[in-house]
Structure 1
Amino acid sequence: MEIAVRVVNSLVERCFAVVELMANEPSAMRLGEIAEKLDLQKSAAHRMLTVLCEIGWVEQESVTGFYKLTLRLAILGQRFLSGTHLTDVCQPVLEELAAESEELVRMAVTQGETLTWISQAQGAQKGLRYQPEMVAKVRLATTANGRAYLSTLAQTDAVRLAISNGMDDGQTKIPVEELIRELEATRKRGWAISNEEAETGVIAIAAPIILEGEQTVGTLSVAGPSSRLTPDRHEQIAASVQKAARKLSELWPLRQLSLSKGRSAV
Structure 2
Amino acid sequence: MSSRIRALGMLETLAQYPNGLAPRELAQLLKIPQAAAERTVQGLVEGGFVFRSPDGAVRLSVKLAALGLAYLGTSGITDLVQPILDDLAKRTGELVRLAVVESDHLTWVAKSQSAQSGLFYVPHTETEVYLAATANGQAWLASLDDAQLRMVVERQGLHRPDLGPNAPRTIDQLLEQIEQTRRLGYACVTEAYEVGTSAMATAIRKRGVGHPVGTISVAGPTIRMTRERMAEIAPWLQASANELGAAAASSPLFSLH
SS at structure 1 position matched to 2:24: helix
The gaps in structure 1 that reach 5 residues or longer are 1-8, 257-266
Deviation at 1:77, TM superposition (A): 0.1
Match of 2:174 among 152, 156, 179: 179
Q: Give secondary structure in 2 for the equivalent of 1:216.
A: coil
RMSD: 2.1
Pick one of 229, 252, 258 that aligns with 2:248.
252
Amino acid at match of 2:248: W
Q: Which residue of 1 aligns with 2:13?
A: 21
Aligned match of 2:73 in 47, 72, 82? 82
Amino-acid identity (%):
34
State the match for 2:255 in structure 1: none
Deviations for 1:10-67, whole angstroms, at most 9, x for unmatched residues? 222222222222223343123233223323122112111111112111212222x222
Confirm or deny: 8 A CA contact 1:207 1:219 kept in the other structure.
Answer: yes
In structure 2, give the amino acid aligned to 1:220. I
Q: Contact between 1:87 and 1:119, CA under 8 Å: does it hold in 2?
A: no
Q: 1:68 to 1:168 in 2, by over 3 A?
A: farther
Matched-pair contact (CA < 8 Å) for 2:93–2:117: no
- The question of whether the paired residues in 1 share the 8 Å contact of 2:90 and 2:116 is answered with no
Runs of 4+ more than 4 Å apart: none
TM-score of the two chains, using structure 1 as the length reference: 0.84
Q: Return the index of the structure with the highest Cα Rg.
A: 1
Q: Residue 205 of structure 1 corresponds to which residue in structure 2?
A: 200
Aligned residue number for residue 42 of structure 1: 34
TM-score (norm 2): 0.87
**Cα distance, 1:114 vs structure 2:** 2.3
Q: Unaligned stretches of 5+ in structure 2?
A: 253-257
Q: Hey, what does 2:2 align to over in structure 1?
A: 10
- Deviation by residue 1:163-220 (Cα, 9 ceiling, x = unmatched): 3323234222632221122122212222111201112111100001112551321110
1:156 deviates by 2.6
Matched AA of 1:70: S
The structural deviation recorded for 1:124 is: 4.5
1:165 corresponds to 2:156: yes
Correspondence for 1:225 = 221
Q: Distance in 2 between matches of 1:150 and 1:24?
A: 25
